[in-house]
């Protein structure tokens, strides 16, 4: 079979399918395998799969298993709520960890190499089509690759997705800056690397946590771009970064000089689609469900997709090794799109919640401060075992309306002196 795309989702799927005894060819468009970015968070629903793959200990050796996740107000700097990640590990059976994106990518690449995946670079796929016996892809050179099944893990700008829906990425008007700071920096020495911290502020937020065993501090600064809202092409520039965080607390502002200022990531997602299978072509990862990053499930969903697909291959394989692909792909499509729809829509809502201003921000802060540290009602639907059937999908959490928080309304300014 063929997997298109050598990112985290494509590599994870190729490994999952190879360990089920399938012969997998992976086509990557770039001249070499690699991953850009900085840190990535892996919740228990992902580390559970890495453990099943026999890769968890290697991942832990490359990353950090923090003690706590803390949410603070970006303006005042005070703590709003926290998760005890050691207790969370006891609850779900697997750790919450953070790792450099390139380290996770490298781990999966090495696993694919050991498993015997045929890894081919410089192979940009330009078209997909079904055949009588499976599916084929054509690459930019004109070369054609055929297989019984093609898994399209070709990312946000997926070519394969056009077979399913005529849509475009949706701009959130938010942009992310990233940067890492070496441990010997005074910035790091004054920071608790056992915590994953997010500062939530009006139209911006700031995240930091340790990487590579505490050798690095990873920082992410995200803000709404006025230029994007105004429809300008040149948006998310460093001057907007500084302006967006001008009203935040000292710790956040002092982190801005450490951000990489020559590159930034404009944040897009796509509207959920529920049809991922077209004949013998199936979407996986960001080609199916690119999310906004607010609940840190993007790469995890892609890894889950590959694991679920592999598990259904195992359940629908005859003694002679042949796979009932119609049943396998139908089972995959029966469970994954609905889960990922929930993640995409929740990610959007979570972003709105983080970036509130005015009375709504005050209401949010009251509700977060009232939350108990060991209240897992908002993550139980995410962090438990990955569902293989719709019946296994846990119920969603019940949203708490902001209006239920009692806050003092600010006095209105009236009279001829108001301006």
Q: pLDDT tens digits for 231-281?
A: 999 999 999 999 999 999 999 999 999 999 999 999 999 999 999 999 999
- pLDDT, residue 127, reads 98
Residues 65-117 have pLDDT tens digits of 999 999 999 999 999 999 999 999 999 999 999 999 999 999 999 999 999 99
User: CA nearest 200: which of 60, 341, 81, 66?
Assistant: 81
- pLDDT, residue 190, reads 82
What lies within 8 Å, CB to CB, of 73 at 6+ separation is 80, 199, 200, 201, 249, 365
| pLDDT for residue 302 is more than 80 | yes
In the predicted model, what is the mean pLDDT of residues 11-37?
94
Sheet holding 118-120, edge to edge: 118-120, 25-27, 2-4, 150-152, 281-283, 277-278
Q: How far apart are CA 287 and CA 144, in angstroms?
A: 21
In the predicted model, what is the mean pLDDT of residues 120-128?
98
- pLDDT, residue 128, reads 98
Indicate if the alpha-carbon torsion angle 225, 227, 228, 233 is positive or negative. Answer: negative
Q: How many helices (H) and strands (E) does the chain have?
A: 13, 18
The DSSP secondary-structure symbol of 387 reads P
Q: What would the CATH number be for the domain defined by 2-168+270-392? A: 3.50.50.60
What stretches of 278-405 show up as alpha helix (H) in DSSP? 298-315, 325-354, 358-370, 380-383
Task: Please state whether beta strands 170-182 and 265-269 pair in parallel, antiparallel, or not at all (unpaired).
Answer: antiparallel
| pLDDT for residue 36 is more than 80 | no
- Which of the following is catalytic: 53, 174, 199, 209? 209
In the predicted model, what is the mean pLDDT of residues 128-143?
97
Q: How far apart are CA 203 and CA 225, in angstroms?
A: 9
| pLDDT for residue 292 is more than 90 | yes
CB of 40 within 8 A of CB of 110?
A: no
- pLDDT, residue 384, reads 97
User: CA nearest 12: which of 30, 32, 38, 42?
Assistant: 42
Q: Mark whether 209 is an active-site residue.
A: yes
| pLDDT for residue 417 is more than 50 | no
The residue with tokens 């070709």 is: 154
User: CA nearest 228: which of 219, 220, 237?
Assistant: 237
Neighbours of 155 (CB within 10 A): 20
Distances 235 to 46, 230, 261, 262 between C-alpha atoms, Å:
34, 9, 13, 13
What residues are paired with 126 via a beta bridge? none
At 409, the pLDDT band (50, 70, 90 cuts) reads low
Q: Where are the beta strands (DSSP E) in 189-244?
A: 195-201, 204-211, 216-224
What stretches of 233-283 show up as alpha helix (H) in DSSP? 238-244, 250-255
At 58, the pLDDT band (50, 70, 90 cuts) reads very high
At 176, the pLDDT band (50, 70, 90 cuts) reads very high
CB of 227 within 8 A of CB of 238?
A: no
In the predicted model, what is the mean pLDDT of residues 321-333?
97
Q: What is the pTM of this model?
A: 0.95
- pLDDT, residue 189, reads 86
User: CA nearest 37: which of 90, 101, 114, 81?
Assistant: 101
CB of 206 within 8 A of CB of 198?
A: yes
The residue with tokens 């050179």 is: 141
Q: How far apart are CA 388 and CA 317, in angstroms?
A: 16
- pLDDT, residue 213, reads 85
- pLDDT, residue 79, reads 98
């Amino acid at each position: 079979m063929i997997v298109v795309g050598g990112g985290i989702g494509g590599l994870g799927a190729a490994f999952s399918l190879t360990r089920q005894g399938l012969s997998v060819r992976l086509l990557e468009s770039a001249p070499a395998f690699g991953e850009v970015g900085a840190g990535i968070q892996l919740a228990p629903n992902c580390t559970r799969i890495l453990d099943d793959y026999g890769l968890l200990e290697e991942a832990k050796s490359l990353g950090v298993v923090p003690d706590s996740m803390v949410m603070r107000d970006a303006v005042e700097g005070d703590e709003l709520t926290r998760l005890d990640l050691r207790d969370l590990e006891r609850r779900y059976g697997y750790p919450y960890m953070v790792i450099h994106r390139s380290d996770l990518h490298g781990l999966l690449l090495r696993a694919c190499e050991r498993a015997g995946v045929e890894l081919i670079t410089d192979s940009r796929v330009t078209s997909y089509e079904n055949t009588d016996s499976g599916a084929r892809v054509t690459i930019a050179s004109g070369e054609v690759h055929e297989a019984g099944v093609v898994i399209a893990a070709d990312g946000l700008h997926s070519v394969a997705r056009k077979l399913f829906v005529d849509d475009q990425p949706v701009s959130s008007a938010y942009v992310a800056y990233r940067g890492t700071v070496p441990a010997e920096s005074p910035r790091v020495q004054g920071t608790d690397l056992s915590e994953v911290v997010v500062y939530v502020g009006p139209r911006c937020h700031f995240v930091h946590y340790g990487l590579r065993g505490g050798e690095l501090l990873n920082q992410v600064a995200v803000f709404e771009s006025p230029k994007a809202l105004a429809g300008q092409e040149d948006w998310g520039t460093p001057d907007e970064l500084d302006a967006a965080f001008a009203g935040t607390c000292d710790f956040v502002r002092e982190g801005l000089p450490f951000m990489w200022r020559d590159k930034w990531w404009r944040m897009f997602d796509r509207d959920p689609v529920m049809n991922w299978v077209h004949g013998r072509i199936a979407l996986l990862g960001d080609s199916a469900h690119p999310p906004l990053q607010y609940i840190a499930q993007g790469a995890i969903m892609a890894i889950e997709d590959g694991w679920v697909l592999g598990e259904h291959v195992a359940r629908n394989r005859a003694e002679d090794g042949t796979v009932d692909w119609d049943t396998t792909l139908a089972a995959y499509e029966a469970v994954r799109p609905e889960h990922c729809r929930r993640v995409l829509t929740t990610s959007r809502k979570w972003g709105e919640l983080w970036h509130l201003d005015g009375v709504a921000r005050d209401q949010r802060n009251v509700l977060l401060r009232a939350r108990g540290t060991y209240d897992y009602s908002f993550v139980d639907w995410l962090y438990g075992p990955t569902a293989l059937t719709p019946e296994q999908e846990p119920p969603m959490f019940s949203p708490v309306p902001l209006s239920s928080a009692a806050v003092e309304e600010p006095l209105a300014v009236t009279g001829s002196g108001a301006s």
